[in-house]
A and B are shown apart, each in its own frame.
Chain A
Amino acid sequence: MADELLPHLFRTEYRKIVSVLGKKFGFDQLEIAEDIVSDTFFAAASTWGLKGTVPANPTAWLYNVAKNKAINYLEHNQVFDHKIAPELKRQSNEDAEFEIDLSPKNINDSQLQMMFAICHPSIPVESQIGLSLRILCGFGIDEIADAFLADKEAINKRLFRAKQKLREEKVNISLPGAAELDDRLQTVLRTIYLFFNEGYYSVSQNKTLRKDVCFEAIRLCYMLAQNISTNKPDVNALLSLMCFHASRFDARLDEKGEQILYEEQDTNRWDSDLVLRGEYFLNMSASGTKLSKYHVEAMIAYWHTNREDTAEKWENILSLYNQLLFIEYSPVAALNRTYAVSKVHGKEKALVEAKKLELTDNHFYFALLGELYSGLDNNEAKNNFGKAMEMAKTASDKNTIRKKIEKLR
C-alpha cells in the first residue's frame, strides 16, 4: 500500500511542507528545508515499508516528522543563534522560534508567498519555471530535465544559480505590498503561462509528464484566484485560457505523443468539463477596465471550442488577433492572424498579407505559406511545406508537415 500512497503523497505534500519550511528558513537555507522534507519522505518509505503498514493519518505523520526534524535542526544549528534568531525575535516576542505551523492556512499562504519569491524578476524565466516545478510542484530533477529535454546536470546548475541569485538579492518570501503587487503579479502570470506552454508544446515525448506540467500550472493559477489579494481579472483570464487549451490535451496527441491537428481532432475527446470551467473563469475575468492579452487569448480559445466554421466565428477570431497584436506583437499571433484572414477574406488576400510578415526564420511561416498556396498553386505549396519541414526542429513537427505534403499529391 505504501508503494502507491507515497508517490501520491509526495506530489501533494512535498510542496506544502517545503513551502512552509522554506518560508521559515528563508532562501539562505532553502536547501536545508528541501533536505528535511526529502529525509521525511525517506523515513516514511523505510518505516512504513518495514512495518508493512501505513499510519492511520499518513499526512499528519509526515507533518509531524518534518516538524520534529525542522525543530531539531533549528535547535542545534549554530547559524540559528546568530542569524535567524534575532530576525525571528524581531518578528514576534513569543517563543515562536521553534514553531512550525503546518495548518492549512499557513500552508496556503506560504505556497503563495513562495510563488511570488520564486517568480522574481531578478532570475531568468526558465529558472523561475524550473524552481517552480521543484519547490511549488514537487517535481524531481529527472522529471524537470525530461520536460525541458535537458540533462540533469544542467538543470541542477540552473536551479543552484537561481537560488544563489535569490539569496544575493535578499528576496523575501512574502507577498509584495499593494503598490508592487500588480507588477509582480504580471511576472508570476507570465511564468505560469510559459510554464503551461512548456507542458503543452513540450518537445518531450512523455505525455503523462507533459499533462502533469499543464495541470500544475493551472493549479498554481487557481491558488492565485482563491486568494483575495491576487484574485484579479487577468488571473481569471489566464486560468480560463489554460482550461480551454487543456480541454483539448487528450485529443491533440496520439498514442505516440505526436500532434493531431485541430481540424482532425476527435471532438468527443475534448474535455467538456474543462470547457465549462474555462467559460466560468472567462466570465469571472470580465471586470475592471484593463483588457489583458490573457483575456484576448482566452476569448480566441473560447471560439475554438466551437469546431464548426461559421463566418461569425472567424470574424471574431480575426478581430481578436488584431487586438492581441495591438497589445503585444508576437510572430505566433501574426501568423495566426493571417490564417484568420484567409478564413474571412480568402486565401488570395491572406497570401498578400502573409508575404508582408517576412518571418523567414520561422518554420511555421513557411507552413502557413504552404497552407495558403494549397489549392491555389500546389507546386508553390509543396515548395513552402518543404522549406518548413527542413527547418522544423522536432520529428513530430516534421511528420505533421510531411502529412500535409502527402495530401497534395
Chain B
Amino acid sequence: MKEFLFIYRREANADQGVQWSPERIQALMKPWQDWLGSLAAQNKLIDRGNRLDGDGTVVKPNNVVTNGPYVEMKEAVGGYSIVKAKDLKEASELAKGCPIITVGGSVEVRTILEM
C-alpha cells in the first residue's frame, strides 16, 4: 500500500456572492462526509485533511507578496486528504466519487514518496 495526496480544486471565486446559512453548509458537507466515510469504511483513508480558506497570499522571490493564489489560475485549491491504495490506478478510482467533481471541480491525485 502506498499513500496518495488528493488535492481538491474548483473554479476560483465560485462561492462569491453566495449567502451562507447553516442549512446550506450542512447540505454541502453531507456528501463529503458520506464519501470520506465510504473511503474510511474501506480502510483507505489515512487523513481526512482539511478545507482551505479562500484567502491566501503567494510569496515570491525578492519579497514579492501577492494576494491570493488565483491571479494566474482558473482553479483554486480548496482542500486536501491523504488516502492509501495499491497503486495510482486504484487511488484514481477512489477519487472518482468525490463530491467536488459534481460541482465542476477536480481531484489531483499524487503519489506521496517516502523519505
Contacts and interface: CB of A to CB of B under 8 A. Distances in A.
Interface stretch (B29-37, B68-76, B105-113): B29-37
Interface of A: 318-319, 321-322, 325-326, 329, 333-334, 337-338, 341, 353, 356-358
B37 A356 contact: no
B41 interface: yes
Nearest to A345: B34
Interface string B12-38: 000000000000000000100110111
A357 B40 contact: no
Interface string B28-58: 0010011011101111010010000000000
B33 to A, nearest CB: 5
A318 B42 contact: no
A334 B39 CA distance: 10
B40 A318 contact: no
Nearest to B32: A322
A148 B45 CA distance: 34
Nearest to B40: A325
Nearest to B48: A326
A356 B37 CA distance: 12
Nearest to B47: A326
Interface residues of B, number: 12
B40 A356 contact: no
A362 to B, nearest CB: 13
Given A325-B37, A326-B36, 11 more contacts: A318-B34, A321-B37, A321-B41, A322-B33, A322-B37, A325-B40, A325-B45, A326-B40, A329-B41, A333-B41, A334-B43
Nearest to A358: B42
Contact of B40 (A319, A329, A341, A358): A329
Contacts of B33: 319, 322
Nearest to B30: A319
B34 A357 contact: no
B36 A334 contact: no
24 contacts: A318-B34, A318-B37, A319-B30, A321-B41, A322-B36, A325-B37, A326-B36, A326-B37, A326-B40, A326-B45, A329-B40, A329-B41, A329-B43, A333-B41, A334-B41, A334-B42, A337-B37, A337-B41, A341-B34, A353-B38, A353-B41, A356-B41, A357-B41, A358-B42
Contacts of B38: 353, 356
B93 to A, nearest CB: 10
Contacts of A325: 37, 40-41, 45
A357 B36 contact: no
Contacts of B48: 326
Contacts of A341: 34
A338 B41 contact: yes
A303 B72 CA distance: 50
B42 A356 contact: yes
A322 B42 contact: no
Nearest to A338: B41
Contacts of B41: 321, 325, 329, 333-334, 337-338, 353, 356-357
A360 to B, nearest CB: 13
A356 B90 CA distance: 12
Nearest to B38: A353
Most buried by B among A322, A329, A337: A322
A350 to B, nearest CB: 11
A357 B37 contact: no
A338 B42 CA distance: 10
B102 to A, nearest CB: 15
Contacts of B42: 334, 356-358
B28 to A, nearest CB: 14
Contacts of A358: 42
B48 to A, nearest CB: 6
A397 B48 CA distance: 36
